[in-house]
Structure 1
Amino acid sequence: MLLSELVKNWPCTVRGSVGIEVEGITEHSCSVKENYVFVARKGAHADGFLHVDEAISRGAVAIILDRNIPAGYVRKKGVTWITVPDGRQFISHASANLAGNPSDSLTVIAVTGTNGKTTVTHFIAQLLRLHGEKAAVIGTTGIFMNDYKIHCSVPEMTTLPADYLHPLLKDCLNAGMSYVVMEASSLGLSSGRLDHCTIDIGVFLNIGIDHYEEHGSKEAYIEAKKKLATLANRLIVNADDLQCVSLVGKTSKQLEFYNMNMIQGKTILPENYPNLPGKHNRSNAFAAVSVLTMLGYDLKETLVLSRQLELPEGRLQRISKDDLTVYVDYAHTPDALQTILLSLIEENEGTTITTVFGCGGNRDRSKRPQMGEVAATCSSKVIITSDNPRNEDPLFIINDILKGTIFHMEKVSIEPDRKKAIQKAIAEATEGEIILIAGKGHEKTQQIGSTQHHFCDIEVAKQCLDDKIFGIRTE
């Protein structure tokens, strides 16, 4: 595409030629290739202008700035410089145009919520597949087409940046997908990653505690979620969550509600409930069924198909040996942890439940004592450990969690090494006990400092169960 077409009707100041061909756009200098446009955006933690020379050396033919060129900098000859009011908005617009606006030719469904996004997106795609449709999923656990995981060079992010998203949507279209179901995170919405993506249906699951510090406040977090109500053409909302209901307000768009027992105003009888563990997963399934009915599929037929739904990896994933059961779940918020534990208590009355969990570093501190209180209140035993400590001291994070357990300290023990914590829980478990390992779910790495180490709760749990059954001593 000619650069002139990319900036056509866009407010900007141009220094240089716009009659040049451009083949891609990015705000990551290491991703620049020949004939690329580089967006040197000033972010919260880094300034893209510091990487302009690298981008030009890699083949950038145009530089997009969201401010004037810094004093004293000598512009490189043969490179076009363009100033725009908002670098994020421009990269969103340009990425969609360069890819040929593929979302216009797809039915895109975006799901937002503090908890359950991954499960619901996979449920929607599974139901579409069961109806004979071709569907892709984009989200926390990766990229899937027709239920098969696709490996491609994209960041491990819940909602992809626009310069990755739109080329991926083009790939989905070329692969014959009719539907794309994606997770819409609060950070993805607030940073404009979906602003130039045509979204047919937006789904609101719940509003809980997460990312407050990254957004600056609870109110800013909620406002970020609310943006999906503006972007999507039609809306589906969990009627049991009053904050979600208030987000959509008095919209003039097509709007459908669901809850734990109802879809489109029709009560669903227990014999038609999906065969899934936990009430929350029934709600997740009903959210997915609501999407299918909004798309025109028969409610009764889709409810029957919903009994074939399978949870994605790391979502209440069950691992058992003899009479000992381990569940691995991604629950990393107070709401999610409480929901999982209450479900396990209800479905396993009188059973001892040991919870192994930690909290991520460089993330919301306010939720740490809340998660400690939930775990200590709803579990028989608790082992507090590390999650992804990142650049924080694991013991500092653990001390924050402990503040919520002061009335239940007799239940609580500490083991900062996550592998040893899981080993301890399984080695000390008695017959019939349930162990919940929460927080990381499907993740295959643990971030300590700036280094990603291979670590998988599921793998460790399976090995520990085998060692326990065969009498192998774990260190």
Structure 2
Amino acid sequence: MKLSELLAGQEHHTLRGDADTTWITAGTAFDADRVTSGSLFIAVPGHREGGPDSVAPALARGAGAVLVDSRSPTLPESVWASASATGACVVQVPDTRKVAAIVTSRYFGEPGREMDVVAVTGTNGKTSVSYMVESALRLSEGAKVGVIGTAGSRVGNELIPMPSSVLTTPESPDLQYLLGCMRDRGAGTVVLEATSMGLLTHRVDRTFIDVGVFTNLTQDHLDDHGTMENYRDAKLRLFQGLCGRAVVNADDPVGAGIVAMMPDALTYSLDAPADYRATDLSVDASGTRFTLHHDGRKYPAAIPVPGRYSVANALATVAACHILGHDLGGLVSALDRMPPVPGRFERLQTPQGTSVVVDYAHSPDSLNKVLTTIRGFARGRVITVFGCGGDRDTTKRADMGRIAGTHSDLCVVTSDNPRNEDPETILDHITPGLMATGTPFERLTDRRQAIAFALSAAGPHDIVLIAGKGSEPHQTIGERLIPFSDMATARELAGA
């Protein structure tokens, strides 16, 4: 496709070459090392693997054109010489991130227009709702659905391989590529996780989202946003022109603001009047039964996951699918047949009779919810293994220690993803909250040793919660990704 066609209607200034005669034949990229001959390299300021300093390497790898940001420093003369030598076109735009979403969507034929696109945002529940939307449509109608998020990208059970560096909400070159793949593989619906940073940095712009889903807002990611107000505002971008319809949690105070912005938004609730409401909840270790109310009718429902928050996720799922025109009765009947979401209240029974729960809970609110749920049906002791991520919000650490201690009989505090932070320092931040509860605890920075200790301390009828990493297949230590799975480790250690 001609570069001039990709940039049509966008403010731009050609610095070298001719956009009318430059053809982009190998996609777009933010990372210089993913450029191939004929690529459009987009130099995003501050991007870890790209940016203005990577223009020269991108040209050396055969980039057919380069987009630079008007806010970036002037390129050195050596880069101009390289562009002249290779015949590459260099174009300046006001904001490379904003333009990237547009040109990449155009390059792949605006695939979002050809499918129903559901985007889920909120602090907790994004992955669960995404998986549940896919399961509900597949089980009720045999539909082919694409999923993009924390656990990777797939159409049904067919994975779409991507580099491990790809984010939960991929950068626009990756996101539009994935949407194109899903369209070409026959997906009629795509559901994606829209993170706050993904929304703030324009990754989901030009995705043609049909339904935006808001789950909740609780403390997290303050290392990125600074304040809860900034974090909220980043989430709200989804409902400020990026989606056609909205499904909103009426039990969260932010929901009212979304309804004010989008008066035709549909609401769901466990505690208040709403378009989709659940009552008569009955929770046990096997799951939750409830009554779903909509438009004056009642639907008996069940999900194979315990907890109020799981019912809220089910309501969000049903509402999002129903608003797209799918049969409500069929959706409700599919709920109790859903497979478990990897790393979300994922369960294991050991030969010794101990129950193990692996959950992604890594914020104060999510940890409180999963522990409160477990406490509701536990017959024995609750033993919690958890930590906090390094190089992330430090203000939540003591609070998570307090929550874990309040709801557990024994805690094992350990490393999550320490990244470039000293693991012992992270534990030092957590332990004051634990100590305030009086609950006994152990400090073991080695996560495998921590899980082993918890399992050895547990007896029949006890429940061991391993929280924080869910289905993540690795642990981030320094700059390295070390293969590590909580569930696989628990299975191995328990001999299950």
- Quick check: TM above 0.5? yes
- Describe the SS at the equivalent of 2:491: helix
Q: Is the 8 A contact 2:22 2:65 kept in 1?
A: no
Deviates more, 1:29-38 or 1:68-77: 68-77
Identity %: 34
Q: How far 1:72 sits from its partner (Å)? A: 4.8
Q: Is the 8 A contact 1:390 1:448 kept in 2?
A: yes
Q: Which residue in the other structure is 2:326 paired with?
A: 297
Q: How far 1:257 sits from its partner (Å)? A: 0.5
Q: Is the 8 A contact 1:114 1:206 kept in 2?
A: yes
Q: How far 1:247 sits from its partner (Å)? A: 3.6
Q: Which residue in the other structure is 1:107 paired with?
A: 116
* Pair 1:242 & 2:272 matched: no
Query: Normalising by the residue count of structure 2, what TM-score does the alignment of the two structures yield?
Result: 0.90
Query: Normalising by the residue count of structure 1, what TM-score does the alignment of the two structures yield?
Result: 0.94
Residue 47 to residue 60, structure 1, CA distance change in 2 (3 Å): closer
Q: Is the 8 A contact 2:98 2:202 kept in 1?
A: yes
- Describe the SS at the equivalent of 2:229: helix
Q: Is the 8 A contact 1:111 1:204 kept in 2?
A: yes
Q: How far 1:408 sits from its partner (Å)? A: 2.4
Structure 1: which 5+ runs fail to align? 468-475
Deviates more, 1:439-448 or 1:260-269: 260-269
Q: Is the 8 A contact 2:269 2:276 kept in 1?
A: no
* Pair 1:163 & 2:166 matched: no
- Describe the SS at the equivalent of 2:445: coil
Structure 2: which 5+ runs fail to align? 281-289, 291-299
Q: How far 1:400 sits from its partner (Å)? A: 0.6
Q: Which residue in the other structure is 2:46 paired with?
A: 43
Q: In the aligned structure 2, how far is the partner of 1:385 from the partner of 1:53?
A: 43
Q: Is the 8 A contact 1:109 1:201 kept in 2?
A: yes
**Which of the residues 108, 123, 138 maps onto 1:129?**
138
Q: Is the 8 A contact 1:201 1:236 kept in 2?
A: yes
Q: Which residue in the other structure is 2:59 paired with?
A: 56
Q: Which residue in the other structure is 1:333 paired with?
A: 363
Residue 376 to residue 458, structure 1, CA distance change in 2 (3 Å): same
Q: Which amino acid aligns with 1:55?
A: A
Q: Which amino acid aligns with 2:365?
A: D
Residue 373 to residue 248, structure 1, CA distance change in 2 (3 Å): same
Residue 266 to residue 386, structure 1, CA distance change in 2 (3 Å): closer
Once superposed, what is the RMSD of the aligned Cα atoms? 1.8
Could you report, residue by residue, the CA deviation over 1:404-439 in whole angstroms, capped at 9, with x for unpaired residues? 123224422211111101000111112211100000
Q: Which residue in the other structure is 1:420 paired with?
A: 449
Q: How far 1:70 sits from its partner (Å)? A: 2.1
**Which of the residues 480, 491, 494 maps onto 1:451?**
480
Q: How far 1:46 sits from its partner (Å)? A: 7.3
Q: In the aligned structure 2, how far is the partner of 1:314 from the partner of 1:267?
A: 25
**Number of equivalences:** 465
Q: Is the 8 A contact 1:211 1:364 kept in 2?
A: yes
- Describe the SS at the equivalent of 1:159: coil
* Pair 1:17 & 2:18 matched: yes
Q: In the aligned structure 2, how far is the partner of 1:351 from the partner of 1:449?
A: 38
Q: Which residue in the other structure is 1:70 paired with?
A: 74
Q: Is the 8 A contact 2:52 2:75 kept in 1?
A: no
Q: How far 1:117 sits from its partner (Å)? A: 0.6
Q: How far 1:384 sits from its partner (Å)? A: 0.4
Q: Which residue in the other structure is 2:294 paired with?
A: none
* Pair 1:279 & 2:308 matched: yes
Deviates more, 1:147-156 or 1:1-10: 147-156
Q: Which amino acid aligns with 1:428?
A: A
Q: How far 1:267 sits from its partner (Å)? A: 5.2
Could you report, residue by residue, the CA deviation over 1:186-244 in whole angstroms, capped at 9, with x for unpaired residues? 01000100111100000000001111111232211111100111211000001111123
- Describe the SS at the equivalent of 2:389: coil
